[in-house]
Amino acid sequence: MEEVDPILERRAREARASKEKTLRGVMIVMALVALALAGVLYYVWKQKSTLVNDLEAEKQELTEQFVALQQDYDTLSSDYESINSQLDTSRAEVAQLVERLKKTEATDRAKIRQYEKELGTLRSIMRGYITQIDSLNTLNHKLTADAAAARREAAESKKANEELTQRIENYEGQIATGSKLKARGITLAAYGNSDSKTVDRSSRVKRLLTTSSLLENDLAPKGPVRVYIIVRDPDGIILTNSVRTSFDFQGETKVASASREVDYEGKEVDLAIYLNDIDSYVKGLYTVEVYTAQARLGSAELMLR
């Protein structure tokens, strides 16, 4: 049996010990790296989860604000048919926005910001309704007081009585009907090469058609009336062609997409205005606003695929 060199044996043991020590060090480093990566992944996941939760909470809060606004609109009412009609339109718009918001992902920041802007606009419109109703109520109270005074004066003279009675009837008539033109049934439709069939694909659209009816109003001025339409694409840009026109509205010059003159004699009259020669259309929601130089008649929407 060969004699083992103690020096070589010791060196071998030292080598094995060193190797094991090195291996343990590598394993410790790898464990620390794995732990660090796990920490980073957990931090990223936590941040993403927090962001998504924040966005969901923001969407929920915005939805609750829309629902509260919807309830506020439901509580508004007036004794005037024209205002009630406008309120019905605004209520329908709020209801549509609530449904769209519920279907919108919380991470779609562009849509959420758009809904926030529309919420502010609808709140401003509601404040306008409240101011208008209060003003009309105040005016109505004043006219009621004037009518009472007129009746007292009428007792003094038959002639004065007839004149004042006529004034009272005129006041009441003005409150009930108003003198500005109003419209109903505003629609926006798209047509291709055929004028008899509508289309809903943006690539097939050749022209847009706005239709409406001017309502009967004995107090409205009679004669030629020019009606303007302002059509906006999904980015809010006004669509115009080579015959673009403009008009003054409440001290502001507005650019119109198209216009048409109709002969208004106090009776209901239908009208249709085409918008032609637009180079191309894109997918999305198009809107049209209908005006005369004296009043905004209403609006409509069209979704193109």
pLDDT block averages, 10 residues each, the chain of length 305: 69 80 82 76 58 71 81 76 80 81 77 82 80 77 75 75 71 58 94 86 94 89 94 96 90 95 93 93 96 94 96
Neighbours of 72 (CB within 10 A): 14
Q: What is the pLDDT of residue 116?
A: 82
22 plus 164 within the same structural domain: yes
103 plus 230 within the same structural domain: no
Separation between Cα atoms, residue 292 and residue 86, nearest integer Å = 17
Domain count, the chain: 2
Q: How far is CA 143 from CA 135, 140, 299, in A?
A: 12, 5, 33
The residue with tokens 């044996």 is 9
The rounded Cα 4 to chain-centroid distance in angstroms is 94
CATH of the domain at 264: 2.60.40.10
Q: What is the pLDDT of residue 176?
A: 46
Which of 178, 196, 212 is the last residue before a domain boundary? 178
159 plus 43 within the same structural domain: yes
171 plus 142 within the same structural domain: yes
187 plus 298 within the same structural domain: yes
131 plus 11 within the same structural domain: yes
131 plus 188 within the same structural domain: no
142 plus 240 within the same structural domain: no
Which of 150, 178, 206 is the last residue before a domain boundary? 178
- C-beta separation of 258 from 243 below 8 A: yes
The set of long-range contacts for 128-133, using a CB threshold of 8 Å and a minimum separation of 24, is 129/76, 129/83, 129/86, 129/87, 129/90, 130/76, 132/83, 133/76, 133/78, 133/80, 133/83
Which of 153, 178, 203 is the last residue before a domain boundary? 178
149 plus 237 within the same structural domain: no
92 plus 172 within the same structural domain: yes
Tell me the torsion sign for CA atoms 13, 15, 17, 19: negative
103 plus 243 within the same structural domain: no
127 plus 187 within the same structural domain: no
Q: Which domain holds residue 17?
A: 1-178
CA atoms within 13 A on the CB side of 160: 10
